[in-house]
Amino acid sequence: MTLPDRPNVRWGMHLQPDMLQALGALAVVSAETEELLHKIYWKYANLTEENGPIVTDKLNPKRLSEDIIKLVALDKSKTFIGADLKLLLDEFETLNTKRNHCLHWIWEAVAEDNLDASGKTLPYEIKRPIYRQSGIRSENFITKDIEEFCRDFSWLRKRLESHTFSLETLRAIRENTRSFGRIKNSDGSTLDLADLFYPAPWLDKLQ
């Protein structure tokens, strides 16, 4: 609901359009990644999309991650799955901390156009909100840093997504995707499309 005394003006932003676009992309891909934690939790807790939200609705990512590791550890045959999830969830914690800083801290530009006298891009400074009393006080970022976070989150999302499928479904999807061939990397090497869209380096280690 709009406040009745709101003036009909467009407020300016002190962040450049490329930075705003990068932050928007970060918000989207990180939300998609966090949702996968719930799906993985439901899978190993034998929950469904109907009753799963009743259990995990109020759980934060840290608690979700801790419980996922505990649930997977109950089955000794899933040692390799648990090890991969531990790796991925540790990565999520690192990236999500950066994400929270980028989206919830206070941004300040060091210059109006964020360029120095030579035309070099200056970093933005983000400061810890005054109501938070612990942790680092500030960090510096340029747009390329945020874009790199987005790429890291996007790959983590693909890696986690593979853990939401049953083993039978994952193997079938990978086999079907593999039939479409390989993609060439910028360094000249090639990558199986199954490993690009449904990466599961732990799958062949299972009996």
Residue pLDDT, tens place only, 56-111: 999 999 999 999 999 999 999 999 999 999 999 999 999 999 999 999 999 986 65
Alpha carbons 72 and 64: distance in angstroms, whole number: 12
pLDDT tier, 119 (very low <50, low <70, confident <90, very high otherwise) = low
Helix (H) and strand (E) counts in the chain = 7, 5
Write the CB contacts of 110 (distance below 8 Å, at least 6 apart in sequence). Answer: 122, 123, 124, 125
Q: What pLDDT, in 10s, does the model give residues 140-189?
A: 999 999 999 999 999 999 999 999 999 999 999 999 999 999 998 888 89
Q: What is the pLDDT of residue 129?
A: 92
Q: Give residue 10's pLDDT band: very low, low, confident or very high (50, 70, 90).
A: confident
Q: Helix, strand, or coil here: 196?
A: helix
Is it the case that residue 114 has pLDDT exceeding 80? no
Residue 1 has pLDDT above 70, yes or no: no
- Taking residues 115-119, report their average pLDDT: 63
More confident residue, 184 or 198: 198
- Say what the pLDDT of residue 44 is: 97
- The pLDDT assigned to 111 comes to 57
Alpha-carbon distance 9 to 7, whole Å?
Answer: 6
pLDDT at 112 over 80: no
Q: What angle do CA 126, 94, 125 make, to 5 degrees?
A: 10
The arithmetic mean of pLDDT across residues 119-147, rounded, is: 88
Question: Does the structure show a pLDDT above 80 at 13?
Answer: no
Report the interhelical angle of 79-104 vs 143-161 (nearest 10°). Answer: 150
pLDDT of res. 25: 97
